Structures are given as C-alpha cells and as structure tokens.
Chains A and B, each alone.
Chain A
Amino acid sequence: MALEELYREVILDHYRNPRHKGSLTHAHFHAEGQNPSCGDEFSLDLVIEDGVLVEVATQGQGCSISQASGSMMADAIKGKTVDEVKAITSKFKLMMSIEEGENPVDPARPGAVLGDLEALQGVRKFPVRIKCADLPWATLADALDGAQTAS
C-alpha cells in the first residue's frame, strides 16, 4: 500500500522530533524557503568553517514530508564539507526524480547511500508532494549560494 510507503515510521519520527531545530545567532549563512501554494516554510542557519558545515539549525512549519525532509537533511549535512553537501544534494534529487538520471540508491543495501533520507523515496508515487520534500533542499541551495558569493 502506497500510503504506508509514504508515511514510514522514520518520516513521522523526524516530523515529530525534528533534529537540529532552532536558530543560530552567530550563523554565517541564513536562507528561508516557502511553498507559496501550500504555505510550508523552512529556514536554515549555517556556520561554515574551512569549508565544513560545522553547525546547522533549522526551523519550519508544514507537512510531515517537508519537515521530515528538512530534519533528515540537517542530519545528513552537518559536519560535511560544502562539496560533500553538494554531492548529497545531487543524489537526493536523483533519488526523488527532481533531477533526471539513475536513482543512486541501492535497494539491496537500504540506507547505505542516503541514510534515513531514503525513506522519502515513497514520495515519488505522489508527484504533487515532491515539492514538499524538495523545500528544505531548495533552501539549502540558497544558503550555499550565499556562502559561495561571500567566499
């Protein structure tokens, strides 16, 4: 049943207990994203030192898919270099069919490529909800654009 695939336990857990929640007064980079059609919101604070995302904080309001995606994203990018984060983003977008190409996830080894984020694959069967999953990632891209401009 597609609904069980969509609302996996791990997704509901991230929705109800978002990781790295909050804001950073000393953030180097900040970005805010919204889906105006549905009102979902997501904001992101980053501290980047020597090309590494040493601190990540997020805040948001919206559906389980957008907020769980943001929480899992924060987990996945914290402590990574900007280049690694870009690689993760690219894999995520391929997995979600946001970008065209082969899905990098290996069904034989669940979680090996994108960790918890792989639970979001069920969203692909609900095309109208893909934009929900993408909101935090679009916000991240904005924040990193700011980082690039600054450096």
Chain B
Amino acid sequence: MDHLRADFPILERKVNGKRLAYLDSSATTQKPNQVIDAIGDYYRRYNSNVHRGAHTLADEATTAYEGARTKVAEFIGASSSDELVFTRGTTSSINMIAYGWGLNRLHPGDRILLTVMEHHANVVPWQLIAKHTGAELVYLELTDDFRVDLSTLDSVVDERLKIISVSGMSNVTGAFGPVAELVEAARRVGAIVIVDAAQSVPHLPTDVTAIGADFLAFSAHKMLGPTGIGALWGRREILEKMEPAEGGGEMITDVRLYESKWAPIPHKFEAGTPPIAQAVGFGAAVDYLDKVGMSEVRKHEIEITQYALDRLADVPDLTLVGPTDIAVRGGTVSFELGDVHPHDVATILDQEGVAVRAGHHCAKPLMRYLDVPATARASFYLYTVKEDIDQMVAGLHRAREIFGLV
C-alpha cells in the first residue's frame, strides 16, 4: 500500500517542521489527486446545474451526478441506484430517516433501540423524535471488552420495538456493532434496522443485500471523498413509503397551490440543488477504493492496527479504550496516557508532526458510560504506514517525559 501515498499530496507536507503523520482519518480522510482532480475538472469543464437542462453542460453534469450515484450504489452492493439518496452526510442521512419515517410512524410507547456507543448523530435525532412522538429510547450496554452486550437484547425485543439504529463501527473504540444479530432480532418483531455506517463503509467490504438492514448511512469525506456529501441507502419499498423531510425544487413531479406530488425515489429526498461537484468527487473516491479493493483496504488496516496495538502495549501508563481482538475491531484506536490529559497528548504529538484527535469524539454518552472524560484517538486508513505509528509512539514517550512520568 505504501505506493498509494504518492497519490495524496498532503502527506508530503511538514507540520511544525516534522514529517506529517496523519492519524485522524476517522474524523476525515485525506484526498487523493484523483478526487481533487475530478472536482477541479468538473468546475473547469462542465460546471452546470443538474436535471431539466437542455444544454450540453447540464447534460454532462447530470450524467456525472447520476453516474456517481450508480458508482456509490454499486460500491455497497445495492441492487439499484434508485435506492441511493445523496445527502449532506451521515448526520443528515439519519435525520432524514428520523423525520421522514420515525416522526410519522412512531406512537407513544413505541421503542427505539440504540447502543451506548453511538455517535451523537445517532442519538440526538432519536431524542428529538422521541420527544415529538412519545416513543421511548432503549439502550444496549457494553461488555467488558467494549463490545455491545447482547445479553439483554431479548428483553427489549417485543412488539413495541419499531426502530433499531446501530453503529457499524464505533468511532471511539473501533469495535464493530452487532449488526447481524440486531437484524435478526428486528425481523422477529417487524422493526426496521438502520446502520450508522460512517466508520464501517470506508474500511470494510460492504454488501447491503447480505447485511439485511433497511438503511445504511455514510459520508463521502471519511472515504477519500469531499465534505458536504454523504449517502443514505434504503430498501426500495421503505424509501417509497418514507416521507421527504425537506421540500423544495428537484423533489417534485407537480406542484399546485395547496399540494404537490413527489418525484420517484431517490429524487423525492433531494430537495434543492444537490452537491454536484461533491458527488463527482464521491464517485472518484469509490473508483479509487474499487481499484485498490476493499478487502485489500481491510487487510492493510488489520496489519497496521495490529502493529499499533502491539507498539502501544509497550508504552508504560497507556490504557487502551477498545477491544484488543483485531477480528472485532477496525483501525480507530482510543487510549489514555496516565494522568496526561488527551488534549495535552494531542498538543505534544502535534509538535512532533503527529495529528491525532482528543476529546469526547461526539460520543458523550459513551464517555460517561466508560467513565473516561476524554480519550486521545489515532485512526488509520489505506495510506497509513508503520512509520506513522512509530512517530506517534516516540511522541507519546516525549509526552511522558514532559509530564514527568519517566
């Protein structure tokens, strides 16, 4: 994979005089030239609004926009590109389901099942919907090895359960969510299952038909694409029943003074001018990942994550916040370093050219549950090399030195 690094111009830059070791890919990934150029090319050569245009540029832009939809749909194994809605990102995808499906179908006493490891994007929309509808939120907790505890699952699976929404992979601990088990449980009572796949689609081969969930939400910028665009895949029959959460141009077939008719899926969920350049970039990103191969991406991340776990295990005072078994986790590694606060760890690492994230990672319920105020988090992708990990470990030793832990 080392040869891919040449495609990422930002990796050549220096930070604070040091080689950049970018270990914050769970927050956003770096972009290869292929994506940057595709976006530039769109603006330079065929920038135009999509749909309904009779001129050449509009036709080219529409073809590129819809072509990107097909690429992204195929990337996750969708049976049809109609089932793939472009959104602003994972957060807006989940809100779209919450407001388009949850708001209209939940009643007082109905239940929404989440886990304590969810990102705020998969918590707060459901709190809002629960407030609007009188539905209640129920949570699965974690086992000692940071995995979702399924021992209480049966007690919450009954006819009151309408929605299960679970992360495919935690953005804090790196643990995979128990998607298959939850899909099976949902089938017993007719609940729908949503996968917050923001962290899983970028890192694991994904086949929505095999997963068996009803919705999958993810973001382009966490998989080499630009910010400002993401996707919501939904099962056709559910998308057809789901109400649009936003109204406006592009999403209608007819508008009268007091009522309108929605466009067919997926366009009824895409009100207003869509993020066209971003869609083009998203398409280029999945082209890139397809070329590398997602099983190769996963293979590389297993190797680099195992290397990181081994090296971190040798750092005194360091506590891993996440599972140690590589089979049940991805390349997002959270840790604490003695009494050195994660922000201080991040500042010291930054001086060494190492970019990690520190804080609650938009998962405050999880941090409270684990009783840690914050963690430092290193996260990897296909361009991460062992040298990046070594640089981080050296920085961690420096942090121990500065804080007198040596």
Which residues of A are interface residues toward B (Cβ below 8 A)?
2-4, 6-7, 12, 16, 37-40, 61-65, 126, 129, 132
Contacts and interface: CB of A to CB of B under 8 A. Distances in A.
A61 B347 contact: no
11 contacts: A2-B351, A4-B402, A6-B347, A7-B344, A38-B343, A38-B358, A62-B343, A63-B344, A65-B343, A65-B344, A126-B347
Contacts of A126: 347
A2 B360 CA distance: 26
A39 B368 CA distance: 12
A31 to B, nearest CB: 20
Nearest to B341: A63
Nearest to A132: B343
B403 interface: yes
Contacts of B374: 38-39
Contacts, number: 45
Given A40-B343, A63-B343, 6 more contacts: A3-B351, A12-B404, A16-B339, A38-B360, A61-B373, A62-B373
Nearest to B16: A2
Interface of B: 339-344, 347-348, 351, 358-360, 364, 367, 373-374, 398, 402-404
A49 B374 CA distance: 38
B336 to A, nearest CB: 13
Nearest to A123: B347
Contacts of B343: 38, 40, 62-63, 65, 129, 132
4 closest A-B pairs (Cβ-Cβ)? A63-B343, A63-B341, A39-B360, A38-B359
B373 A39 contact: yes
Contacts of B347: 3, 6, 126, 129
B367 to A, nearest CB: 8
A124 B374 CA distance: 24
A64 B364 contact: no
Contacts of B404: 12
A7 B403 contact: yes
B360 A3 contact: no
A3 B402 contact: yes
A101 B185 CA distance: 64
Contacts of B367: 39
Given A16-B339, A38-B343, A61-B373, A7 B402 contact: yes
Nearest to A62: B341
- Of B343, B360, B402, the most chain A CB neighbours within 10 A belong to B343
- Of A3, A40, A129, the most chain B CB neighbours within 10 A belong to A3
Contacts of A64: 340-341, 344, 403
Nearest to A16: B339
B93 to A, nearest CB: 24
A88 B147 CA distance: 50
A39 B359 contact: yes
A40 B360 CA distance: 10
Contacts of A61: 373
Contact of B403 (A12, A38, A39, A132): A12
A6 B404 CA distance: 14
Contacts of B364: 39
A57 B161 CA distance: 47
A69 B347 CA distance: 17
Nearest to A39: B360
Contacts of B342: 63
Contacts of B341: 62-64
Nearest to A40: B343
A4 B344 CA distance: 12
A132 B359 CA distance: 13
A3 B373 contact: no
A126 B359 CA distance: 17
A119 B342 CA distance: 21
B358 A3 contact: no
- Of A6, A40, A64, A126, the most chain B CB neighbours within 10 A belong to A64
